[in-house]
Structure 1
Amino acid sequence: MLLCNTQSPPESPWTASLLVRLIGSRFNPSEGFLLQHIFPTLQLMKSVTEECPDITRIYTIGKSYTGLKLYVMEISDNPGKHELGEPEFRYVAGMHGNEALGRELVLNLMQYLCKEYKKGNQRVVRLVTETRIHLLPSMNPDGHEVAYKKGSELAGWAEGRYSYEGIDMNHNFPDLNNIMWDAQETAADPSKVSNHYIPIPEYYTQEDVAPETRAVISWMQDIPFVLSANLHGGELVVTYPFDCTRDWAPQENTPTADDAFFRWLATVSKASSTIATLSSATQKKSHHLSC
């Protein structure tokens, strides 16, 4: 899971911590939810909006290379409207099309929030009324189609991982870290160089960049998200911004000003007995990641 913020953390960590807890606590391995596709993605999303029309909205942020739409579920007490002072949050999954775990968790979260809101679960009611939540279950639908048709028994580790064009979208976004660091090195007063609203290089509006990547960049520019998480699968890893060392040296910590907040968020999942059990059962070694 990659944690990042695009502006600043929410005023209260309650919202972020509850979202992290919920996406883990809803997974029960005995139910086999992750091993089957009961409904196609859009059909499942529509079933949620039909059940909870007052707090949900489906919209698209663009299309994949082959023309498949990138569907997003919005969950809020005023869907379709940005409310001043209400934090905007997003989960993105399926960046690698063959990593099904994040996609299924996001779909499960949609269903859970809808059902629990209707039941009057006060934690969920507060979350829905005080946060605008955006859930993108499949950023790489082309890759997902390839991996799903091939099946887990026949597919190699890279089958469906990349976009239809063969692009690894996990490495297809602009390197804003180095843009900021370069500006700090040439500035008379590096402390006055903004680490917010760094302009996206013009290149990333061109067709050489994956259409899925351009769609997500445009989405981020249209909505003032304060926090997001990108869900991956296959390894127990959490990476924190800047997720890259300033001088490319290995084993060098390069934290952001919000590092303590991100690290606290990563420990929140331990509050879920399900996640804690799964983590201890699957974790074999720790990782220190750099670029």
Structure 2
Amino acid sequence: MNIGSLWQILLLMLSSCLPYAVESRGGEKNILSSSSTGLANLTYVRTGKRLLEAQHEKKIDLAKGYLTNNDLENALKDFTQRCGNISRIYSIGKSVKGVPLWVIEISDKPGEEEAEPAFKYIGNVHGDEPVGRELLVRLANWICDNYPEDPLAAFIVDKVHLHILPSMNPDGFSLRKRGNANDIDLNRDFPDQFFPVNNEMSGRQPETRAIMNWLRKIQFTASASLHGGALVANYPWDGTEDKRRYYFPCPDDGAFHFLASVYSHSHHNMSLSKEFEGGVTNGAAWYPIYGGMQDWNYIHAGCFELTLEVSDNKWPPANELPTIWEYNKKSMLNLIASVAKTGIHGRIFSAASGRPLPGYIMIKGINYTVKAGRTFADYHRLLAPLENYEVMATMTGYKSKTTTIKLEKEAMGVDFILDPEVPNGENQLESECDCTCTTSKSGLQVMGSLWTTHMEAYFLVVVVLGFVCILLCRRRARFSFLRHRQQGGPKRPAVA
């Protein structure tokens, strides 16, 4: 045997021992051995017939025990049959191959709009990270099985509108690969704040468009997507302006760190991480990505989203799923409940008519605005607890109102009552109170015809009638305001 042959044999032996890279949130982190990662994407193709056959058999074994796309659809339909009193299912669109993107809505009033915060979970963004879809099915079943006896299940159903999309990427799951059927990474397909990424709607994948259209219809307070390949709660910003890796905070860095900590510290062992302090990380400090769903939610949809890495193994054997569920169950439930248990919540009303005003809530020192709902003018502002905040409510055509609060660990309710701006206030009052006050006009006409003989008497009549009309309008507006307050739930402080 010559030296060249020996060299080739040595290279072959070394290559068989090399680890391959695992793609999780961004596909650039964590180099793990093949024995610990399951069905991670290979960065190169190993040669040898026996090895390829073993790899194929491993894929089949790993897929066994997971819900297929048909299984998942049937499971969701069966769920609504069993729990129809607190749930419904609907589709937000279809994948490249036409698979419906099914969503479970869980609420005491499914399908109806309420003055409550809305939360969403999304799983299986990457096709080769299927743990999330399994956990979300288990989450829905746990809530159904334990409502209304369990206090946490009852709180979530009664106080939060929960939406669950188990699989954003059913095609990728079927193909056992990261991207969708067009081989596009869906967590790089959203518009990016720093670099143009598919800025044309027609250039995005159907799964991406479905998410964007979904958030135009429903105003979510917060959300989280479930991934695999690490164990950490990740929060914005995900990218940096210069593409370098460092901690790059968004305006609500404190609130995001708090939400991520809620998940991490409720988890069995996430907060004990030796790689991530407290089990949480700023995305850009871990490694920057662009076109991610997390940043887009916060910037364009007013939705505070986390990216949750819930399993070190991207595709673990199915017999490990019950343990992974037990490790994540409390975290998943507490994160949902946090959108109603923390922060400040309230509604914005018109002082002139008592009607809801879909205005805006701003916090001094935080460059981010939260919009109140269109129907009930309810707002849900997530904030880090144990801090003082100066809160301002605004609405076009009305005077802004500001109040200072001390936010404790529990949520605080504050309603705002805004006065119409001058000089448009009188016109606003007249149009909103449905009181035409036509008596004043007819009195002026009579006064004109009898000006020379009864001017003073008719002028006095007009003034008295106009004053009575204004009192009636304001009384009606007060009644309308009280009626809206009673419909909005328990009494809470109002900034008038």
TM over 0.5: yes
2:182 to 157, 165, 168: 165
Matches of 1:35 and 1:83, distance apart in 2 = 41
- Give yes or no for the alignment of 1:67 onto 2:87: no
2:133 to 89, 103, 107: 103
Say if 2:189 and 2:204, in contact at 8 Å, map to a contact too. yes
Which of the pair has more CA radius of gyration?
2
What percentage of residue pairs aligned between the two structures are identical?
Answer: 38
Equivalent AA in structure 1 for residue 122 of structure 2 = V
The correspondence of residues 47-62 of structure 1 with structure 2, limited to 5 A, is 47-62=78-93
* Counterpart position of 2:161: 132
The correspondence of residues 1-291 of structure 1 with structure 2, limited to 5 A, is 36-37=65-66, 40-84=71-115, 86-118=116-148, 120-147=149-176, 160-175=177-192, 177-178=193-194, 203-204=200-201, 206=202, 208-251=203-246, 253-272=247-266, 275-277=267-269, 280=272, 283=273, 285-286=275-276, 288-291=286-289
CA apart distance, 1:57: 0.5
Aligned residues: 219
Matches of 2:234 and 2:265, distance apart in 1 = 19
Look up the SS of the partner of 2:234 in the other structure.
Answer: coil
Matches of 1:278 and 1:240, distance apart in 2 = 15
* Counterpart position of 1:12: none
Say if 1:269 and 1:276, in contact at 8 Å, map to a contact too. no
Equivalent AA in structure 2 for residue 143 of structure 1 = G
**Cα distance, 1:270–1:165 mapped onto 2, change above 3 Å:** closer
Structure 1: unaligned runs, 5 residues or longer? 3-33, 148-159, 183-199
CA apart distance, 1:264: 1.4
Matches of 1:224 and 1:167, distance apart in 2 = 27
Equivalent AA in structure 2 for residue 83 of structure 1 = E
User: What's the CA shift string for 1:82-110, capped at 9, x where partnerless?
Assistant: 213x0111011111011011111111101
Look up the SS of the partner of 1:276 in the other structure.
Answer: coil
TM-score by length of 1: 0.69
Higher relative contact order (CA 8 A, sep 6+): 1
Equivalent AA in structure 2 for residue 277 of structure 1 = N
The RMSD of aligned alpha carbons is 2.6
Structure 2: unaligned runs, 5 residues or longer? 1-23, 26-62, 277-284, 290-496
Say if 1:246 and 1:254, in contact at 8 Å, map to a contact too. no
TM-score by length of 2: 0.41
Matches of 1:201 and 1:167, distance apart in 2 = 12
* Counterpart position of 2:414: none
CA apart distance, 1:201: 8.2
**Cα distance, 1:269–1:35 mapped onto 2, change above 3 Å:** farther
